[in-house]
Amino acid sequence: NAGVTQTPKFQVLKTGQSMTLQCAQDMNHNSMYWYRQDPGMGLRLIYYSASEGTTDKGEVPNGYNVSRLNKREFSLRLESAAPSQTSVYFCASSWTGRVDTEAFFGQGTRLTVV
Amino acid sequence: AQSVAQPEDQVNVAEGNPLTVKCTYSVSGNPYLFWYVQYPNRGLQFLLKYITGDNLVKGSYGFEAEFNKSQTSFHLKKPSALVSDSALYFCAVRDITGTALIFGKGTTLSVSS
C-alpha cells in the first residue's frame, strides 16, 4: 500500500520553463490537495479537489493550474516558472465530508527555479 | 476565518524531560484539530487529532495533546523527550467548509542528549 506518491522528488527549472508535478493515491479518497511549504510560512494550500471533476483555489493559486485526471490522480502544473515558486510541494488526500479524518501526505517534490 | 498559531519557532528540551509544543486556534463552530510531524526531507506524518470528547488525546510515538476550549489551545505534550523526537511539528485545523487543513507555521523541536 503506497499511500500518496509524488513524482518527481527533485526538479530544477529555469525561469519561464513549464512542468507538471504528478500525484497519485491508492486509498480511494475523494479529496486531494496541493500545498507548498516555505521556511517560516508553514504549509499553504494552492488548490484542492473535493471530487473527480472539481477543483477549487486555495490560499496561493496564482501561477499554478491543476487537473484532477481521475479519482486517483491530481496534477499541478507550472506554466511559466518563476523563482518565487521555489519551494517544496506536497500532495495530500483525505475523505470528502469527513471533518474528523486526517489527510495523508506524499513525500514532497523539492523544486528550484533559477 | 479558521486559523491556528504556533507561538514558538523553536523549542529546546533535554532528553528525558517533558516537552510541550504550543498551539492556539481560532474557529467558527466546532474545532477539528490535528498534529503532524515532519522529519528532515520527509513528508508529514499524522500524530493525533481532537474531534470531540475527552480533552486529553493520545497519539503515536507516546505523544498526547490537551484540548482546552476556554483557552482555545491544543498543546502537544510528551512526558519524556527522546533525541529522535527532534523534528518540525505542525498544528492544523479543518477549514470552515470541512475541506482542507489549515496549518500553523510550524515549531522546530530540538532534543539534546
Q: B105 and A40: CB-CB below 8 Å?
A: yes
By a Cβ cutoff of 8 Å, what residues of chain A touch chain B?
4, 31, 33, 35, 40-45, 48, 50, 56, 58, 90, 92, 96-100, 102-108
Q: Which residue of B has its CA nearest to A93?
A: B100
A24-29 average pLDDT score: 95
Residues of A in Cβ contact (< 8 Å) with B94: 99
User: DSSP assignment, residue A32?
Assistant: E
Is residue A41 pLDDT above 80, yes or no?
Answer: yes
Residue A6 is predicted with a pLDDT of: 97
Confidence band of B52 (pLDDT split at 50, 70, 90) = confident
- Residue whose C-alpha is closest to residue A4's, from A33, A32, A24: A24
What DSSP character marks residue A73? B
Question: B99–A96: do the CB atoms touch at under 8 Å?
Answer: yes
| CA atoms of B97 and A99, how far apart (whole Å) | 9
- Enumerate the residues of chain B whose CB falls inside 8 A of the CB of residue A48: 99-100
pLDDT in tens, A50-78: 998 899 999 999 999 999 989 999 999 99
Band of residue B90 on the pLDDT scale cut at 50, 70, 90: very high
Give the pLDDT confidence of B37-49 residue by residue, as tens digits. 999 888 899 999 9
| Widest pairwise Cα distance in chain A | 41
CB burial readout A43-64, b (16+ within 10 A) else e: bbbbbbbbeeeebeebebbeeb
Tell me the pLDDT band of A1, cut-offs 50, 70 and 90: low
Judged against a pLDDT cut of 90, whether residue B94 lies above it is answered with no
